[in-house]
Structure 1
Amino acid sequence: MNIGIIGAGSIGMLFGAYLAEAKHSITFLVRDSNTPNKLYIEKSNTVKQLIPSNLVFKMGELNEMDLIIIAVKYHHLQSIKDELDALPKNIPLLFLQNGLLHLTFATTLKHDTIMIGSVLHGAMKKDAHTVQHLGIGVTTIGILKGEWERIEELLLPPNAHFPLEISSQIEDVLFKKAMLNSLINPLTTIARVPNGELVKNLAYKTITKNIYDEMMEAFEEWKDRFSWEEVVTLCMNTQYNHSSMLKDYENGRLMELDTIVGAIIEEARKRNKKLPILHAFYLLLHEKNEVGERHL
């Protein structure tokens, strides 16, 4: 397939690398004319491998794609809405944002088919042209609107380093990921530590478990579907990775606070439940976000 990827950040490049390995033709849409012509992936800190791909700088150059993957941050979506609306409506779109708020954005588009992906890989952009794959996770894809008979082609051939699943309950998958992100991202950002420290350090582990317990109190239907062991496993699988929120803070970028942590707090509020520890972290990070925004 001809696959366009909007955004050459860590997740966009990760998808581009593995989809190119599966013999798809990859085209990245980037805004920065200084983006290197050649992009690379490092798997488990091994030698760089070239990502076979093309770079374009205008949305209209994606008009002939079989699929377009949107891999920019949530807070950048509104700035490309008009250009997305101008794309042929028969091209399926796949959104790969963190959090929950992009679901509402996606439903405002008029495309025939809109898909959502939940990504649990550990990935870090090492420099302008290299992404590091730091932890293997599962990518789950589901259809939010319409249908796409070629979705199975993304899964072939199966790759143990980049497993893909299809779900008919993608909104539940996203909610679970938002809870996971809310358990990992805020504390790693405040403490400035990689993910693994949340289970290796006794104090951080206790705090994380307390947030997990207050979430399960607020969202009781998840008690049998989301175990504490899953949190520990994810932290260890990505133990050397800096969470996306921490990386944004370290690089002076706006953090995805409202679409992840804020959205979970709001869902609890709708149930007349409170998440006091998570809310305290939200307020602390909100202040850091304000400072970071002023320095962008």
Structure 2
Amino acid sequence: MKIGIIGAGAIGMLFGAYLAEEKQDILFYVRGNKKIANLYIEKIPNAPDLISCKQVTEIKALYSMDLIIIAVKYHHLEQLKKDLDLLPKHIPLLFVQNGLLHLSFIDQLKQSTIAIASVLHGATKVNDHTVRHLGIGITSVGILRGVWDKTDAFLQCSSNKFPIKFTTNIEETLFKKALLNCLINPLTTILQVENGMLIKNESYKMILKNIYEELMEAFEEWREKLPWNEVVTLCKNTEYNRSSMLTDYENGRLMEINTIVGAVITEARKKDKVLPVLHTFYLMLKEMNKVGDHHY
């Protein structure tokens, strides 16, 4: 397949690297002077593999794609809308954003087929052409609207290091990811620690458990679908990963506070539930937030 990727952050580069490794023709659409014609993926530290891909700076180069993956952060989507409106309507789009607010953005688009994904990998961007894979997780993909005739071809790109599965309940999967993000991202950012420290340090682990219990009290139907041991396992599997929110903070970029934490707080309010610990974190993160680079 010919696959275009808009956004050359950690997740965009991770998708590009693994899909190119499965012999897909990868084309990155980027702005500015970023150069990622030579894309490296570090599956273990200091052992990068060179992956073949191409780079373009004009949206019309994506008009012949079989799939376009939208890998920019939520707060970059609005400035991308003009470019997306120029794309042929028949080209399927796959959105891989954190949080929940991008679902409202997607409703504005004219594309016939739109899919969304929940991505549980740990990854960090080392530089403009290298991504380091820090933790293996499942990419769950679901069709939000339309019919995608190449789902089987995309599923064949699944591997042990980059597992992909399709789900008929992608919005529930996305909400689960948002809950997990609420558990890990705010706390790691405020404490400025890697994911694994949330379970290695007993005080941090107690705080994490308190947030978990608060969320489960608000969303009782999730206690069985998101057991505590799954949270612990995710922290173990991504123990050396610095959460996306922490990475944004450390690099002076805008953090994804509203689409992750704010959106879950809003969903709790709809059920007449309050989340005092998470709301405290939300207010702290708002004070820490910085306006960052708006290029993709």
Q: TM-score scaled to structure 2, two decimals?
A: 0.97
2:200 aligns to what? Answer: 200
The amino acid across from 2:24 in the alignment is: H
Is it true that 1:129 corresponds to 2:135 in the alignment?
no
Aligned-pair distance for 1:35? 2.2
The worse-fitting range, judged by mean Cα deviation, of 148-157 and 51-60 is 148-157
The amino acid across from 1:130 in the alignment is: T
Is it true that 1:188 corresponds to 2:162 in the alignment?
no
Aligned-pair distance for 1:243? 0.2
In structure 2, which of residues 285, 291, 294 is the aligned counterpart of residue 293 of structure 1? 291
Confirm or deny: 8 A CA contact 1:65 1:91 kept in the other structure.
yes
Confirm or deny: 8 A CA contact 1:10 1:124 kept in the other structure.
yes
Aligned-pair distance for 1:154? 1.2
Aligned-pair distance for 1:171? 0.3
Confirm or deny: 8 A CA contact 1:100 1:263 kept in the other structure.
yes
| Separation of aligned partners in 2, 1:271 and 1:163 | 34
* Secondary structure class of the residue paired with 1:77: helix
Confirm or deny: 8 A CA contact 1:68 1:91 kept in the other structure.
yes
Aligned-pair distance for 1:157? 5.0
| Separation of aligned partners in 1, 2:46 and 2:156 | 24
Confirm or deny: 8 A CA contact 1:33 1:57 kept in the other structure.
no
2:16 aligns to what? Answer: 16
Is it true that 1:67 corresponds to 2:67 in the alignment?
yes
Confirm or deny: 8 A CA contact 2:116 2:142 kept in the other structure.
yes
Could you list the structure 1 runs, at least 4 aligned residues long, displaced by more than 4 angstroms after superposition.
none
| Separation of aligned partners in 1, 2:36 and 2:226 | 41
Unpaired stretches in structure 1, ≥5 consecutive residues: none
Structure 2 matches for 1:215-226, cutoff 5 A?
Answer: 215-226=215-226
Is it true that 1:274 corresponds to 2:294 in the alignment?
no
1:103 aligns to what? Answer: 103
* Secondary structure class of the residue paired with 2:211: helix
Aligned-pair distance for 1:128? 1.7
| Separation of aligned partners in 1, 2:104 and 2:152 | 26
1:26 aligns to what? Answer: 26
* Secondary structure class of the residue paired with 1:190: helix
2:171 aligns to what? Answer: 171
Deviations along 1:6-51, one digit per CA (max 9) or x if unpaired, are: 0111100100111111111000001022424312111022521112
Confirm or deny: 8 A CA contact 2:36 2:54 kept in the other structure.
no
The amino acid across from 1:220 in the alignment is: E
Q: CA RMSD in A?
A: 1.2
2:81 aligns to what? Answer: 81
Instruction: Report sequence identity in percent.
Output: 60
Cα 1:87–1:98 shift into 2, 3 Å: same
Confirm or deny: 8 A CA contact 2:252 2:292 kept in the other structure.
no
Structure 2 matches for 1:36-47, cutoff 5 A?
Answer: 36-47=36-47
1:51 aligns to what? Answer: 51
Cα 1:294–1:237 shift into 2, 3 Å: closer
| Separation of aligned partners in 1, 2:234 and 2:140 | 15
Structure with bigger RCO (C-alpha 8 Å, 6+ apart): 2
| Separation of aligned partners in 1, 2:234 and 2:223 | 17
Aligned length: 294
Confirm or deny: 8 A CA contact 1:212 1:228 kept in the other structure.
yes
Confirm or deny: 8 A CA contact 1:30 1:57 kept in the other structure.
yes
Aligned-pair distance for 1:293? 1.8
Deviations along 1:75-94, one digit per CA (max 9) or x if unpaired, are: 00000101101100000000
| Separation of aligned partners in 1, 2:154 and 2:191 | 38
